[in-house]
Structure 1
Amino acid sequence: MEWFNVGKIVNTHGIWGEVRVISKTDFADERYEVGSELGLFKADGSKPITVKVASHRKHKNFDLLTFEGYSLLKDVEPFRDAILKVSDKYLTELEENEFYYHEIIGCTVVSTEGETIGTVTEILETGANDVWAVQPSKGKTHYIPYIEDVVKSVDIDNKKIVIEVLEGLLS
């Protein structure tokens, strides 16, 4: 079974077992739906715990969650700095030209002329569109916007992305 990061527990919230989560998922409503099962990976490296979401609400820039069987502050304090992950069996099919982060990170980026530009190392959310950080074998990171004018094809099976290098894009 493979696990994929959906968020990090950064603190507790209140006295009734709520945890404050910084989400790393575009599907917060789906991932944190009441009854959803998540893997809780503690910072100490111990065996992951399966938790079931009991409640979810938004508060400022955080997702606040409670888990079944963990109703008090003392129950969830050990979860601070834990990573919440979803099992691959809960991943859903995406629409055309939509991808999970784990599918894009690690892909080789090449120009339409066949020149290797680098490897996607990170995805940054800007509000307008995602920006892919591409690390070449030598030199500084390039930031490639995920827009139709630039990204020409994405081949997940072969981990290859073809882009049109617009003027100034790689400088």
Structure 2
Amino acid sequence: MKKIRVGQIVDTHGVQGGIKVYPLTDEPERFEELEYVYIEDSTEKFYIKSIKYHKDRVIITFDGLQDINLVEKYKKKYLFIDETQKRDLPEDTYYISDIVGLEVFTVEGVYLGKVKEILQAGSNEVYVIKSQEGKEYLIPSVKEFIPVIDLEAGKIVVDPIEGMI
């Protein structure tokens, strides 16, 4: 089953096994709807005991992991959910996992490459597109530069300004 990345553990919190998570979602309170998550490199379900918020971080504790020594090893790892746990998104909003890997063409039909990753950069995301030759292009995720995202066709159409590619 496909898993969706929803956050990254950035540090521990306190001595009772709390973790600080940088949420990779527009709605951090989304974690309250989850019964469990997966931690990168593990197939085990980690059941959520409690959730608090501190600035732009989510503080999570898990059942059975109420000791800092038990969670220390998870720093810098990502949290995932099953695809069945994902929310329906508003129109013209996409999950990162749905975008990464899509093929990218210009409005003139020139093939640029595939979306390699998405950078969280302030007010909008930036799509990193890698060509077959290994060249990388950075395209801001705004309608002006990305007029078409077609998940069914597996492609994105970009309309870059001069100097962008």
**TM-score between the two structures when normalised by the length of structure 1:** 0.83
Equivalent pairs, count: 165
Distance 1:163 1:34 in 2: 35
**Offset of 1:99 from its aligned partner?**
0.4
Contact 1:39 1:86 in 2 (8 A): yes
Q: Tell me the equivalent position of 1:18.
A: 18
2:146 corresponds to 1:134 = no
SS in 1 for 2:98: helix
The one-character-per-residue Cα deviations of 1:28-81 (angstroms, maximum 9, x if unpaired) are 210x2175321234xxx454233224222225x543211234333344345445
Distance in 2, Cα, partners of 1:128 & 1:76: 32
Which of these residues, 88, 92, 98, is aligned with residue 93 of structure 2?
A: 98
C-alpha contact 2:104 2:158 (8 A) present in aligned 1: yes
Question: Is this contact kept in 2: 1:55–1:67, CA < 8 A?
Answer: no
Contact 1:33 1:56 in 2 (8 A): no
Check if 1:58 corresponds to 2:57. Answer: no
**TM-score, reference length from structure 2:** 0.86
Q: How far apart, CA to CA, are the structure 2 residues paired with 1:93 and 1:78? A: 33
Percent identity of equivalent pairs: 28
Runs of at least 5 residues in structure 1 that lack an aligned partner in the other structure: none
Distance of aligned partners of 1:146 and 1:80 in 2 relative to their CA distance in 1, 3 Å threshold: closer
State the match for 1:29 in structure 2. Answer: 29
Q: How much does 1:151 deviate? A: 0.9
Instruction: Tell me, in whole angstroms, the C-alpha distance in 2 between the residues paired with 1:81 and 1:125.
Output: 16
List gaps (5 residues or longer) in structure 2: none
Aligned residue for 1:33, secondary structure, equals: helix
Q: What CA distance in whole angstroms lies between the structure 2 residues aligned with 1:149 and 1:35?
A: 35
CA distance in structure 2 between the partners assigned to 1:46 and 1:35 by the alignment: 18
The AA in structure 1 aligned to 2:67 is L
Structure 1 position 149 matched with structure 2 position 149: no
Pairwise CA RMSD: 2.2
Which whole-Å CA distance do the structure 2 matches of 1:166 and 1:118 have between them? 17
Question: Partner of 1:84: helix, strand, or coil?
Answer: strand
* Structure-2 residue corresponding to 1:38: 37
Q: Give, in angstroms, the shift of residue 88 of structure 1.
A: 0.9
Matched residue SS, 2:147: strand
Is 1-10 or 82-91 further displaced after alignment? Answer: 1-10
